[in-house]
Amino acid sequence: MDTILELDKVVKNYPSFSLKEVSFAVKPGEIMGFIGRNGAGKTTTLKCIMNLVHFESGSISAFGGDMTENELENKQRIGFALSELNYYPNRTIKQLMNVTKRFYKNFDEKKFHEVCKLFNLNINKKLEELSSGMKVKYSVAIALSHNAELLILDEPTSGLDPVSRDEILDIFREIVKNKDRAILFSTHITSDLDKCASNITYIHDGSIIYTGTKHGFVDSYLFVKDKTKNKDLEKEYIAFKELDDYVEGLISADKKDVFLKRGVKPQEPDLEQIMVYLERSKNNESFTL
């Protein structure tokens, strides 16, 4: 199987927002980070994949077949969770599991209990008593217990403390280790992607502006701190801001020599720096008062 999931020119129109021919693919063994600002279209795209909202045109395929034509079968093979579990808050994990397992023909209750033990999940706790991190672990435990080959998670690490986030990312890496499963998760916490993502899909205002390897994305840009505050270099930036003692900003990697000739040494950026300055450029944000 070359791809587990593929979107081809998916369009979804709302009165004030549209997905504009969204296309990307997820392969076995990949952790795909789906990034963009709040409101960029991440959750809408995930809902289109799961047929929770109907898209106007384009196609979505999973496991080699059309997602909607094979919806029931495909959903047996997908673990899906939105950003916050809020159904049946007064039910325990055990009670929720007893309901959920009825929907999956391959649900392995023994494996569920084993994973909960591994995650230190108390199955007698009510959903409302769980921390955000424990709710994510519960969603992953359900997915692993029906042998999901693809996990689709919406902001799974949002609101978690650093230790819990690190635990979740370790779990993600373990899930794809054998190259037979994949994870697609949306996030705006770019440091999580620095630690675990192999691929990035970046959406801005409903349009995909990059999809591919994380390294390919990062290698396309350089970050600059210019203490000389050279005005002649301002036109070379994708976007920049002027601070008290220096100018900092993002440049294309092919601009490196321009800065080196002026005595300014660009650095490799992290994902947060890239995202901040790309968004600033595309939204023409000046950060001036």
Per-residue pLDDT tens over the stretch 39-76: 899 999 999 999 999 999 999 999 999 998 989 999 99
Rounded to an integer, what distance in angstroms lies between the CA atom of residue 144 and that of residue 125? 20
Burial per residue of 62-78, b for 16 or more beta-carbon CB atoms within 10 angstroms, e otherwise: bbeeebeebeeebbbbb
Question: What's the pLDDT at 85?
Answer: 60
| Cα 181 to Cα 2, 168, 257, distances in angstroms | 12, 16, 42
| Cα 249 to Cα 104, 193, 222, 228, 234, distances in angstroms | 50, 21, 9, 13, 9
Q: What is the pLDDT of residues 66-117, one digit of tens each?
A: 998 989 999 999 988 876 666 778 899 999 999 989 999 889 999 899 889 8
Compute the average pLDDT of residues 153-170: 83
| 8 A C-beta contact, residue 19 and residue 10 | yes
Compute the average pLDDT of residues 172-188: 92
Ordered domains of the chain (ranges, CATH)? 5-214 (3.40.50.300), 219-283 (no CATH)
Rounded to an integer, what distance in angstroms lies between the CA atom of residue 268 and that of residue 253? 9
DSSP 3-state of 73: helix
pLDDT > 70: percent of the chain: 96
The DSSP secondary-structure symbol of 184 reads: E
Question: What's the pLDDT at 86?
Answer: 65
